[in-house]
């Protein structure tokens, strides 16, 4: 009886426990199944920290793998005015280190705020500020772009600024053109933290960031330095407003160096006017003047309309056309000049003779074949191309002036690429800057040189090459040589159109050529904008060209054989 009573109690207790268990299971079911999502969100809000993993922007490297652009660490420095007791003393202490006025720091710290930005500083400055041992000062690491060679390659590299969303974005040059490759993809890190805020190591989730790809350029650091220094020296010497140099490997279109003056510092781009960011070598249109004559002559040679020894029968006096008088640059006339002499003397009347042989249709066709009116395809942002008028829009006077490089607009890179086709057995190449793209996983993409088309026959290119060598050795720039290396080249002195007229005192002096003529390896264009000591290409651009060429020949150990 007693046993039955105890047994009944146990059954009752077990029953109650079972019921409580059922209630517990039901409650757990409610929270873990029915309300699971809601609870998870609350938990995430309370204990999960989500951090954005910012990808590292890829490097841009010179040919020797030294960075043109990389990343370095700076410190965003801030202060909490609420904990500062003596603001004037505090401001003076900071001002003694920073290049700031104490009053402006004091004004910032007098605001009713908990966080005041003092600026972004390098490691050295940060350490000096730390040594002051001030209260309420803090630092946050920031990665910023760093250009070790400063402004040496500014125009070809571009810069990194902020877009409308406040994110880093590459602008112009390589930074702009390859921005998507360089910037990578951001990731996220979700860390579950305990009550004390320490991360729980077993509960970390990560959406991996993908760092940006790095670029190995074709730019040779030494050649770039040589070009840069010679150009700066030349611009100063000839009291010019600016200038550009482009150096290209003749057979591949690889850009070995590209420099323009005036420059800007890509690290402090915001201190310069927007117009100074543009790379004149790819973005400025100009009238090429006499350097263009070699292309018109090459076209006529290619068509078999003239030969090197064909004589000009209109070169004995100025040419009258449509009410205009076309003279030579020095008003000297050479009756029965050969085509070789026409280029040697840079004879405008001789080029009118060649232009008339060529005719409007063929002239327009060759302009297009040489790549004018379309981008060269160089891998730099902001390349412009200009336009070629249709055949029907050309008048005989247009044909005449275009034959000696007036009334037609080209970019420096277009002109060099076109002239380079003479060096490259008639093939027009696509100029390019990047040789390899490195991915994070060690894979690399190689960008191969590209021949766009064959514009000139081998024989026409060969004849034209030696006409250009003769122009260098016997023309107006014969006083500068690269003995024993034979240089094929041509000077240019293009007047600048101002308000519909040409101003004879303002010119763009230039020299385009390649060397060694026997087996061209390097093609180069030098432009000097509005030189004042002399307006002529032979007296300004040519010496700069030969100064650079001399160093490049020595650097690459180029021989005449």
Partner 1 sequence: MKKVYLLALLLFVIVAVGQIVYLAQSNLLASESVRAEEIKSVIEKIEEDNKILESEILSYSSLVVVASRAAEVGFEKPKEYITLKNTNSIALKHE
Site residues (vs partner 1, CB under 8 A)? 6, 10, 66-67, 70-73, 123, 141, 146, 148-150, 152, 194, 196, 198-202, 221-222, 225, 229, 550, 554
User: How far is Cα 543 from Cα 530, in angstroms, rounded to an integer?
Assistant: 16
Give the nearer residue to partner 1 in terms of CB position, either 1 or 196.
196
User: How far is Cα 352 from Cα 402, in angstroms, rounded to an integer?
Assistant: 9
User: How far is Cα 382 from Cα 284, in angstroms, rounded to an integer?
Assistant: 10
Give the nearer residue to partner 1 in terms of CB position, either 36 or 73.
73
| Residue 410, Ramachandran bin (φ over 0: left; ψ between -120 and 50: alpha; else beta) | beta
Phi, psi dihedrals of residue 371, rounded to the nearest 5°? 95, 10
Question: How far apart, in Å, are the Cα atoms of 229 and each of 151, 167, 218, 474, 514?
Answer: 12, 35, 19, 28, 20
In this structure, what token pair is assigned to residue 433?
């800057």
Q: Smallest distance from the beta carbon of 42 to partner 1, in angstroms?
A: 22
Nearest partner of 380 among 264, 528, 218, judged by Cα: 218
Q: Smallest distance from the beta carbon of 494 to partner 1, in angstroms?
A: 31
Alpha helices in 304-457 (DSSP H): 339-344, 348-369, 396-403, 412-423
Give the nearer residue to partner 1 in terms of CB position, either 201 or 499.
201
Q: Smallest distance from the beta carbon of 256 to partner 1, in angstroms?
A: 15
In this structure, what token pair is assigned to residue 416?
């060099």
Q: Smallest distance from the beta carbon of 195 to partner 1, in angstroms?
A: 9
Give the nearer residue to partner 1 in terms of CB position, either 67 or 396.
67
Nearest partner of 58 among 162, 188, 184, 146, judged by Cα: 184
Give the nearer residue to partner 1 in terms of CB position, either 196 or 499.
196
* Number of Cβ atoms within 10 Å of the Cβ of 346: 27
Q: Smallest distance from the beta carbon of 210 to partner 1, in angstroms?
A: 18
Q: Is the peptide bond before 262 cis (omega within 30 degrees of 0)?
A: yes
Give the nearer residue to partner 1 in terms of CB position, either 226 or 418.
226
Nearest partner of 213 among 52, 73, 59, 67, judged by Cα: 59
Q: Smallest distance from the beta carbon of 200 to partner 1, in angstroms?
A: 6
Q: Smallest distance from the beta carbon of 554 to partner 1, in angstroms?
A: 6
């Amino acid at each position: 009886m007693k046993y039955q009573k105890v047994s009944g109690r146990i059954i009752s207790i077990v029953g109650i426990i079972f019921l409580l268990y059922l209630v517990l299971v039901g409650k757990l079911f409610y929270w873990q199944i029915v309300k699971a999502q809601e609870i998870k969100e609350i938990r995430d809000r309370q204990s999960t920290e989500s951090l954005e993993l910012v990808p590292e922007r890829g490097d841009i490297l010179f040919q020797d793998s030294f960075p043109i652009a990389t990343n370095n660490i700076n410190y965003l420095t801030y202060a909490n005015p609420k904990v500062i007791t003596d603001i004037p003393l505090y401001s003076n202490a900071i001002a003694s280190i920073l290049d700031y006025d104490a009053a402006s720091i004091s004004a910032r710290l007098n605001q009713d705020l908990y966080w005041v930005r003092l600026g972004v500083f390098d490691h050295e400055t940060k350490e000096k500020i730390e040594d002051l041992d001030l209260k309420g000062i803090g630092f946050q690491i920031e990665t910023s772009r760093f250009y070790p060679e400063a402004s040496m390659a500014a125009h070809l590299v571009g810069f990194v600024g902020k877009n409308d969303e406040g994110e880093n974005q590459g602008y112009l040059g390589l930074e702009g053109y390859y921005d998507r490759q360089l910037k990578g993809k951001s990731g996220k890190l979700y860390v579950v933290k305990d009550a004390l805020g320490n991360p729980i190591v077993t509960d970390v989730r990560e959406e991996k960031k993908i760092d940006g790809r790095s670029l190995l350029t074709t730019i040779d650091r030494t050649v770039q330095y040589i070009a840069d220094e010679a150009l700066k020296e030349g611009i100063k010497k000839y009291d010019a407003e600016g200038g550009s140099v482009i150096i290209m490997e003749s057979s591949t279109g690889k850009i070995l160096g590209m420099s323009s003056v005036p420059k800007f510092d890509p690290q402090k781009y915001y201190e310069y006017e927007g117009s100074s960011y543009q790379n004149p070598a790819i973005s400025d249109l100009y009238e090429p003047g006499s350097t263009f004559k070699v292309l018109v002559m090459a076209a006529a040679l290619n068509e078999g309309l003239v030969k090197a020894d064909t004589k000009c029968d209109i070169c004995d006096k100025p040419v009258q056309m449509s009410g205009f008088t076309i003279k030579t640059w020095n008003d000297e006339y050479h009756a029965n000049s050969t085509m070789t002499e026409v280029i040697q003397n840079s004879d405008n009347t001789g080029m009118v003779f060649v232009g008339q042989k060529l005719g409007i249709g063929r002239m327009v066709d060759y302009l297009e074949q040489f790549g004018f009116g379309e981008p060269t395809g160089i891998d730099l942002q902001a390349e412009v191309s200009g336009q070629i008028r249709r055949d029907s829009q050309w008048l005989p006077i247009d044909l005449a002036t275009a034959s000696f490089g007036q009334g037609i607009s080209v970019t420096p890179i277009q002109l060099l690429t076109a002239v380079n086709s003479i060096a490259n057995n008639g093939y027009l190449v696509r100029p390019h800057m990047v040789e390899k793209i490195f991915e994070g996983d060690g894979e690399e993409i190689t960008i191969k040189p590209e021949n766009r088309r064959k514009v000139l026959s081998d024989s026409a290119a060969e004849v034209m090459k030696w006409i250009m060598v003769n122009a260098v050795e016997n023309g107006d720039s014969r006083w500068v040589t690269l003995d024993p290396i034979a240089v094929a080249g041509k000077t240019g002195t293009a007047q600048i159109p101002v308000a519909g007229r040409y101003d004879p005192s303002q010119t763009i002096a230039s020299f385009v050529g390649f060397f060694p003529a026997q087996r061209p390896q390097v093609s180069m264009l030098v432009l000097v904008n509005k030189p004042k000591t002399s307006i002529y290409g032979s007296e300004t651009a040519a010496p700069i060209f030969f100064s650079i060429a001399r160093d490049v020949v020595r650097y690459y150990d180029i021989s005449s054989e």
